Structure 1
Amino acid sequence: MRLIRDREWLPLLAHTEQPEAIQCQLLLSILASQRNTQFGRQHGFASLRSYEEFSRAVPVLGFEDLREQIEGQEQSGECLLNAEQPVHYVQTSGTTGKPKHLPMVRSALEWIDQYQRLFAFAQWAGVPGIYDGQVLVIAGQTVEGQLPGGAPYGSMSGLMNEALPQAIRRKSVLPEGILSVADVRLKYLRIAACAVAAEALSVLATPNPSTILKLLEVIRSEFPHLVEALTVGPRHPIFSQSAVWAEPIPVSAHRLAYLQTLTEHASTLDLATLWPGLRAVITWTGGNCGVLIPKLRTLLSQETAVIEMGYLSSECLGSLNVDVRENRCIPTFQEHVFEFIEVKDDDGHAPGPVLLGDLRQGQKYQVLVTTRSGLYRYAMNDIVEVTGWFNRVPTIQFVQKGKGVTNITGEKLYEHQVVEAVDTVLKASGIACEFYVMLADVHAAGYTLYLEQAAVPSSFSCKVDEQLTRMNVEYEAKRESGRLQPLRAVLLRPGTAEAYRAHCVARGQRDAQFKLIRLQYPHDCSFDFSQHLR
């Protein structure tokens, strides 16, 4: 860790004192290296000398604007977007139903290695003893298949897992191959068995906290079978259904004896009881995931840190947590060129993009990014909020996907407003509800809130409606005028959350990176809630 501090951490701190200069140098470097690509020639990269010239020459782009050149270069090897042929692609779902394959050149993969070293150092410096024990990381697969041109594709979380420093990877409790098990139930059973066997687990990491809650649910419901499987070994059905690995899971007699004492209390097991030495949980804490953090904290000891994993996407690793105690995350300004478009709560004209030095604390922004791998002024469709400053670099927190915005009659309702309104009413009503989704029905001119809940007070819908009118003046105006109908609450049967997640995974979302969008249009939500009504 001292080598990382001297070679990478201290230079990063120096760069945080001059982010604008670093961003300018990076942009000019990208333009110079890509000037002879087809895209570079079309947009005159060779003659561009500043951000202002770059923003005039290149429009804001989405993936579909670049798809033809991305796929063309992968299949032909011609320098259409990148002077350097991409060596890997990150697959994610696309807006058209066709997957997106985002190119990664060699230097981008090397950056992921550096990012993980920096993040590991921040964790080591902020949480004493964090890596003294074993490590459980639940991620996607690095390689899931090959494209027509032969290049591999997979998940960003898989790349991040593979890029962990070797000293940390050697502490993993999961054997090779376990994350590639296709049967989701069997995979979770095997992960649960490995996790339960871990006597000295000190770190649990996965992008979405719902994965942790799901793992605990499996451990609780299958605890006697898991203990039995660890006692029997590889011959047990949990392990013998497919030959993903042959080695037995190492578990000490002392650990088995401890697990036996927990059998009678399996249904109420928490993370603190399973792993008393757990020093940190690393996961997303912003956006939709923030709803789950209070419950997660109740399952941990007070000494266990909950560390924000950062603003991460398939396109890029957008922020780095440099202060894990306060969860202060800075944009990865030394690797990606950032632009930000202010989010306006009214229907006024959206201002033009601004740069890092122009951001204002408390303001929300849409994100544009330019990468070394051929994404130029790329619209991330994400909203972040500026939470403060780290030296001269703003700290940011993910708020929601940009598509988490609906507009039936001009109210322009944001997902974060729905989350805040629903959570406020749930808390006031003394109700714990983890799964809810609100759909904006343009034809009915109203919103329907679906909740996996046995019962809610008769005034629940009205209370949520009232909260939204307080938070959104246009929503209030549309409700008062009758253009927007009263909000409806619809209760769902137990198990709907799991069915919804399974549905999304079947349609291309990765289980380990599952993101619940709590505000959607019906045409964007293919899940049939009507089959799960109480």
Structure 2
Amino acid sequence: MSLKSFAAKLFAQYIHNTTQKWADNPIETQKKVFEDLIRQAKETRFGKDHQFADIKSYEDFQKKVPIRDYEQLRSYVDEVVKGKENILWPGKPIYFAKTSGTTSGAKYIPLTAASMPYHIEAARNAILSYIHETGKADFVDGKMIFLQGSPILDEKNGIKLGRLSGIVAHYVPQYLQKNRMPSWETNCIEDWETKVDAIVEETINENMTVISGIPSWVQMYFERLKEKAHKPVGEIFKNFDLFIYGGVNYEPYRAKFENLIGRKVDSIELFPASEGFFAYQDSQKEKGMLLLLNSGIFYEFVKADDFFNENPKRYTIGEVELGVNYAMILSSNAGLWAYNIGDTVQFTSMKPYRVIVSGRIKHYISAFGEHVIGKEVEAALQEAMQGTDIRINEFTVAPQINPKEGLPYHEWFIEFENEPTDLEAFSLKIDKAMCKQNVYYDDLISGNVLQPLVITKVQNNGFQEYMKSIGKLGGQNKLPRLSNDRKIADQLNKS
């Protein structure tokens, strides 16, 4: 065992003990975070507008601060972007994470001196939790790659801005700098395909032990490695044993990855976003990710079924239930208040509080009242693939309301890497699994309102070409698992 891996184990024990203290006292931890946030922000413009000085309880906060999304908070954010101080949080942000909005063009999410360290600590602690549980630490001696956006930052009124992953690249600890790949120059390449080719050239002869990124883009990297070396990734990188991912569910990709790698590797799931780092997988044995209750974020939850009602009930951490689909609302030391991030979660454990990401509050299919969510389509596909050699590269689902003939249906666009011998039988397996996942869908199928789902095969690299056509190839961009309209479907049908 090297000195570095020995030190990592000691540090992992320390972080585990520290984490246990707040994880064992979740309600008290969140109460303290809430009180600290209100106290620190009461002299800001937002704090004065919403009488933070008079807030003595969570109930007071609920009455004074409504749930908002980016558009509804935008008047405040625009003032921050102009360079004004003490608007949402004391002083000015140190960065803006620039993301693409659906209705507002670019979104500028503030990152403050108070919030930024938690993004870095959470990613580090996820790895340390893995070391503590498994005892595996030798990988720290090898090379690690983090597929991310360009670290080149722009500036707006004295505040630097860029993609979150590019900002985080500036905070890689000194002790990881020698191990980290790709090079700064390669990381700065904007064109994703050119960047992946450059990363392949840089890494193919290295001792890669940890690989991290959004599964769909890591898949492209693995495919190009295999194409160049003419052997599985696991043979190219004999000591590669840990895959770290976030952004999308890994399960639909797992069979394809294991085929590309040639063997199984451990994985750690993360739940990061520009608005905060919310959770990470703290156990290889338990389902879900540890919700970070001590990271400058106060959480509220609204049942997804009630979210679009007027004044839906808001729940705190002590009031949530297992297995319920919640929209996650946050207030943070980045200056976001009762902010709807758009993600939905379900709790898998309450001791400690663990969650899975179940989808997006706006990404669902309910063209016929079924309200199908991302978690359900992923679980149905996974069940249908179980015990087969079917492998998929990517998929998305949309409603077909006006078919040329017959009843309406859900259309599944799937890019197969290894397709089923009987496509119709496979589609029926998915459909039966969907009926188990969603009782409303089952009622529509059994009531002959919908016909069973239809699979439309997407040509090889079809999804990559689609993402490229809309300027969202690579980086942190993700394909929606499902849509309630046919914008994506119509584009895929054209190709």
SS at match of 1:292: helix
Q: Deviations over 1:391-416 (max 9, x none)?
A: x4311122222222111121212222
Which residue identity is paired with 1:133? G
SS at match of 1:100: strand
Point out the more displaced range, 178-187 or 317-326.
Answer: 317-326
- Mapped partners of 1:15, 1:347: distance in 2: 33
- Mapped partners of 1:214, 1:29: distance in 2: 44
Return the match for 1:373 from 328, 334, 345. 334
- Mapped partners of 1:462, 1:322: distance in 2: 36
Which residue identity is paired with 1:502? K
Equivalent residue for 1:128?
A: 137
Q: Would you say the 8 A contact 1:135–1:202 is kept in 2?
A: yes
- Mapped partners of 1:276, 1:291: distance in 2: 24
Alignment gaps of 5+ in structure 2: 1-7
Q: Would you say the 8 A contact 1:345–1:412 is kept in 2?
A: no
SS at match of 1:422: helix
- Mapped partners of 1:155, 1:64: distance in 2: 20
- Mapped partners of 1:458, 1:290: distance in 2: 23
Equivalent residue for 1:409?
A: 368
Q: Does 1:182 align with 2:141?
A: no
Return the match for 1:418 from 377, 398, 402. 377
Deviation at 1:496, TM superposition (A): 0.7
Equivalent residue for 1:490?
A: 456
Deviation at 1:316, TM superposition (A): 0.9
Return the match for 2:398 from 423, 429, 439. 439
- Mapped partners of 2:302, 2:146: distance in 1: 34
Equivalent residue for 2:52?
A: 45
Equivalent residue for 1:221?
A: 227
Q: Would you say the 8 A contact 1:356–1:393 is kept in 2?
A: no
Return the match for 1:334 from 294, 309, 313. 294
> CA, structure 1 residues 524+50, in 2 after alignment: closer, same or farther (shift >3 Å)?
farther
Q: How does 1:98-247 map to 2 (within 5 A)?
A: 98-125=105-132, 126=134, 127-147=136-156, 149-198=157-206, 200-206=207-213, 208-223=214-229
Return the match for 2:443 from 465, 477, 502. 477
Q: TM-score, normalised by structure 1?
A: 0.81
- Mapped partners of 1:383, 1:12: distance in 2: 24
Which residue identity is paired with 2:149? G
Q: Does 1:291 align with 2:246?
A: no
Q: Deviations over 1:12-51 (max 9, x none)?
A: 3212221211211111111111112221111110110111
Deviation at 1:173, TM superposition (A): 3.3
Q: Would you say the 8 A contact 1:280–1:304 is kept in 2?
A: yes
> CA, structure 1 residues 359+496, in 2 after alignment: closer, same or farther (shift >3 Å)?
same
Deviation at 1:381, TM superposition (A): 1.4
Equivalent residue for 2:237?
A: 275
SS at match of 2:71: helix
SS at match of 1:513: coil
> CA, structure 1 residues 272+459, in 2 after alignment: closer, same or farther (shift >3 Å)?
closer
Q: Deviations over 1:276-302 (max 9, x none)?
A: 112311113x85432102332344476
Which residue identity is paired with 2:217? T
Alignment gaps of 5+ in structure 1: 224-265
Q: TM-score, normalised by structure 2?
A: 0.87
> CA, structure 1 residues 354+181, in 2 after alignment: closer, same or farther (shift >3 Å)?
same
- Mapped partners of 2:317, 2:286: distance in 1: 21
Equivalent residue for 2:5?
A: none
> CA, structure 1 residues 5+182, in 2 after alignment: closer, same or farther (shift >3 Å)?
closer
Identify the structure with the greater strand proportion: 2
Return the match for 1:54 from 61, 76, 83. 61
Q: Does 1:13 align with 2:10?
A: no
- Mapped partners of 1:514, 1:271: distance in 2: 24
- Mapped partners of 2:298, 2:142: distance in 1: 37
Equivalent residue for 1:228?
A: none
Which residue identity is paired with 1:318? F
Q: How does 1:508-519 map to 2 (within 5 A)?
A: 509=472, 511-519=474-482
Point out the more displaced range, 521-530 or 290-299.
Answer: 521-530
> CA, structure 1 residues 496+104, in 2 after alignment: closer, same or farther (shift >3 Å)?
same
SS at match of 1:511: coil
Return the match for 1:36 from 35, 43, 60. 43
- Mapped partners of 1:47, 1:146: distance in 2: 37
Q: Does 1:452 align with 2:458?
A: no
Point out the more displaced range, 48-57 or 429-438.
Answer: 429-438
Q: Deviations over 1:369-408 (max 9, x none)?
A: 111111111112112222224xx43111222222221111
Q: Would you say the 8 A contact 1:447–1:486 is kept in 2?
A: yes
Which residue identity is paired with 1:525? I
SS at match of 2:197: helix
Q: Would you say the 8 A contact 2:225–2:233 is kept in 1?
A: no
SS at match of 1:395: strand
> CA, structure 1 residues 375+443, in 2 after alignment: closer, same or farther (shift >3 Å)?
farther
Q: Deviations over 1:103-127 (max 9, x none)?
A: 0111111222333442342243332
Q: Does 1:355 align with 2:316?
A: yes
Which residue identity is paired with 2:41? Q
SS at match of 2:272: coil
- Mapped partners of 1:427, 1:65: distance in 2: 44
Deviation at 1:9, TM superposition (A): 4.6
- Mapped partners of 2:478, 2:361: distance in 1: 13
Q: Does 1:397 align with 2:356?
A: yes
Equivalent residue for 1:468?
A: 434
> CA, structure 1 residues 348+51, in 2 after alignment: closer, same or farther (shift >3 Å)?
closer
| Number of residue pairs the alignment of both structures matches | 478
Point out the more displaced range, 366-375 or 483-492.
Answer: 483-492
> CA, structure 1 residues 143+84, in 2 after alignment: closer, same or farther (shift >3 Å)?
farther
- Mapped partners of 1:222, 1:472: distance in 2: 43
| Root-mean-square deviation (Å) | 2.9
- Mapped partners of 2:412, 2:264: distance in 1: 36
Which residue identity is paired with 1:129? D
> CA, structure 1 residues 16+476, in 2 after alignment: closer, same or farther (shift >3 Å)?
closer
Return the match for 1:499 from 440, 465, 473. 465
> CA, structure 1 residues 138+287, in 2 after alignment: closer, same or farther (shift >3 Å)?
closer
Q: Would you say the 8 A contact 1:344–1:350 is kept in 2?
A: no
- Mapped partners of 1:357, 1:121: distance in 2: 27
Which residue identity is paired with 1:474? Y
> Which has the larger Rg?
1
Q: Would you say the 8 A contact 2:399–2:486 is kept in 1?
A: no
